[in-house]
Chains A and B, each alone.
Chain A
Amino acid sequence: MPSVHFAPIFQRHLPVQSLEPQGRDLSECLYALFQTYPSLKHYLLDDQNRIRQHVAVFINNQALKSRTNWNIPLNDNDQIYIMQALSGG
């Protein structure tokens, strides 16, 4: 299963930890995360279910290009990094 890692700033607000959610693509992984951490959803997504403007998601070393298209297939050894975009600081 892919692994998800959170930037340390999340610990200021939510008790999230790295984990390996079930999911064959990024969309399934994100919704599995929201099952585990319900409060996380509104930290990552806006009211229209878009990834927030100042949140950055990387799959391995590639930044996610779209805030709405998450139908990106994942491999078991993929690493997903969720972090703050410096633009929002």
Chain B
Amino acid sequence: MTTIWVSTRKGLLGFDDEGTLKETHFLGDPVVNCLPDPRDGRLYASLNLGHFGPKLRVREAGQAEWKELTTPQFPENEQDKASLVQIWTLVAGHPDRPGHLYAGCIPAGFFESTDGGNTWNLCTSLWEDARRKEWFGGGYDQAGIHSILVHPSNPNHLTIGISCGGVWISQDGGKTFEAAGKGLLATFMPPERQEDPNIQDPHCVSICHDYPEVVWVQHHCGVFRSTDGGRNFKTCAFEPYQFGFAVQAHPKDPNQAWFIPATKDECRVPVNRHLVVLHTGDGGKTYQLTDRGLPNSPSFDLVYRHGLAADSNGKRLVFGSTTGGLWFSSDGGHQWQNFSSHLPPIYAVTFAN
């Protein structure tokens, strides 16, 4: 049975793929994201309690109770006096590495756990890299890591996205990272710095599971695609639909990806207040817009970077908006079905089988 987990401002909601709300957890508490771990059936939830800070909870497979886990923690008394603001993304390690988890955080620390979230280690080489001092916040006061992608056939190959700090690649399982993302273009920067990989704002990074050398980026300044694992990118001419937060690569077809565009960049509502899903099937050369099943009336739905997801076949998709709309497609995004228009603001959606 499939569960669609919806992380919201007021709790974690579990829908079936017919749109029935089956489970509600942490009612009233902000849930930033969740991770249904396909390796062991555990369900992790990252909360950000307004008063008491970020929290991490886990529910064992088949159990009803949640247990509190330790959150990643920044070193005491270091120069930055950093403190965890949010676990922005939580990702399962490679299937060959049970218990390995990765956390991308605000501020922009990359943490690894090898014991299912009981303990965490900060990647100090990235944290202490002098280039980090040039990163800045994108949507939050401090820079953060929102995308962590594990190469399907190489457990040591990780790709991360930082707003605003670019795309970085690790070849050693997250011990060290190198700056990548050549070709990304930050037009909000002074001309001399617009191509600097270290100051890019990739809102979301997504890789094609079956062709992991294909990497898509929904960037602050447009959509970009790489065919060499994120080292070099080329722009996709999607005007006037260049801005947005979410991107979902098709898991099997390297030429397909979905986006939920918005008006750039002070306005941040759907273009012409008309909510559409943008799909490309030719590697970003052209695009098609779909609004079948989406609102006919003016819409203010913005979809955050973790608010769009596909299942492992690329047939079923789901997205959720800041104004509490949740839509589902069972045909690759051609036709959409509204599951609800009355949910709390949605931060993230994901499929679990």
Alpha-carbon separation in the docked complex, A89 to B48 (Å): 11
Q: B73 on the interface (CB 8 Å rule)? A: yes
Q: Are B50 and A47 in contact (CB under 8 A)?
A: no
Q: B125 on the interface (CB 8 Å rule)? A: no
Interface set, chain A 10-25, CB cutoff 8 A to B: 12-13
Task: Report chain A residues within 8 Å CB of B76.
Answer: 47-49
- Contact among B29, B51, B73, B74 with A55 in the assembled complex (CB-CB below 8 Å): B51
- Contact among A39, A43, A85 with B53 in the assembled complex (CB-CB below 8 Å): A43
Q: B272 on the interface (CB 8 Å rule)? A: no
- Contact among B51, B74, B84 with A85 in the assembled complex (CB-CB below 8 Å): B51
Q: Are B49 and A46 in contact (CB under 8 A)?
A: no
Q: Are A47 and B52 in contact (CB under 8 A)?
A: no
Q: Are B77 and A46 in contact (CB under 8 A)?
A: no
Q: Are A47 and B51 in contact (CB under 8 A)?
A: no
Q: Are A47 and B68 in contact (CB under 8 A)?
A: no
- Size range of the chain B interface in the assembly: 10 to 19
Interface set, chain B 47-72, CB cutoff 8 A to A: 49-53, 55, 68, 71
Q: B312 on the interface (CB 8 Å rule)? A: no
1/0 contact string of A34-51 vs chain B (CB within 8 Å): 000001001110111110
Q: Using a Cβ cutoff of 8 Å, how many contacts connect chains A and B? A: 48
Q: A5 on the interface (CB 8 Å rule)? A: no
Alpha-carbon separation in the docked complex, A49 to B77 (Å): 9
Shortest B127–chain A CB gap in Å is: 13
Task: Report chain A residues within 8 Å CB of B84.
Answer: 46-47
- Contact among A9, A42, A49 with B51 in the assembled complex (CB-CB below 8 Å): A9
Q: Are A52 and B68 in contact (CB under 8 A)?
A: no
Alpha-carbon separation in the docked complex, A46 to B74 (Å): 9
User: Which residue of chain B lies nearest to A56 when distances are taken between CB atoms in the complex?
Assistant: B51
User: Which residue of chain A lies nearest to B28 when distances are taken between CB atoms in the complex?
Assistant: A12
Contacts A39-B68, A42-B71 given: A13-B52 contact, CB under 8 Å?
yes
Secondary structure at the B interface, as helix, strand, loop or mixed, is loop
Alpha-carbon separation in the docked complex, A29 to B81 (Å): 24
Alpha-carbon separation in the docked complex, A39 to B52 (Å): 11
Q: Are A52 and B51 in contact (CB under 8 A)?
A: yes
Q: Are B51 and A84 in contact (CB under 8 A)?
A: yes
Alpha-carbon separation in the docked complex, A42 to B81 (Å): 16
Q: B289 on the interface (CB 8 Å rule)? A: no
Q: B335 on the interface (CB 8 Å rule)? A: no
Task: Report chain B residues within 8 Å CB of A54.
Answer: 50-52
Q: B142 on the interface (CB 8 Å rule)? A: no
Q: Are A89 and B50 in contact (CB under 8 A)?
A: yes
1/0 contact string of A55-86 vs chain B (CB within 8 Å): 10000000000000000000000000000110
Contacts A39-B68, A42-B71 given: A48-B77 contact, CB under 8 Å?
yes
Shortest A34–chain B CB gap in Å is: 14
User: Which residue of chain B lies nearest to A44 when distances are taken between CB atoms in the complex?
Assistant: B52
Q: Are A48 and B49 in contact (CB under 8 A)?
A: no
Q: Are A46 and B51 in contact (CB under 8 A)?
A: no
Interface set, chain B 308-340, CB cutoff 8 A to A: none
Alpha-carbon separation in the docked complex, A39 to B67 (Å): 11
Q: B83 on the interface (CB 8 Å rule)? A: yes
Contacts A47-B74, A49-B76 given: A55-B83 contact, CB under 8 Å?
no
Alpha-carbon separation in the docked complex, A12 to B83 (Å): 23
Shortest B39–chain A CB gap in Å is: 27
What are 19 contact pairs spanning A and B, CB under 8 A? A12-B29, A13-B49, A13-B52, A42-B52, A42-B71, A43-B53, A46-B83, A47-B73, A47-B75, A47-B83, A48-B76, A48-B77, A49-B76, A52-B51, A55-B52, A84-B50, A85-B51, A88-B51, A89-B50
Instruction: Give 20 A-B pairs besides A13-B52, A84-B52, A89-B51 with Cβ atoms closer than 8 angstroms.
Output: A9-B51, A42-B52, A42-B53, A42-B55, A42-B71, A43-B53, A44-B52, A47-B75, A47-B76, A47-B83, A48-B76, A48-B77, A48-B81, A48-B82, A52-B52, A54-B52, A55-B51, A85-B51, A88-B50, A89-B50
Residues of B at the A interface (CB closer than 8 Å) are 28-29, 49-53, 55, 68, 71, 73-77, 81-84
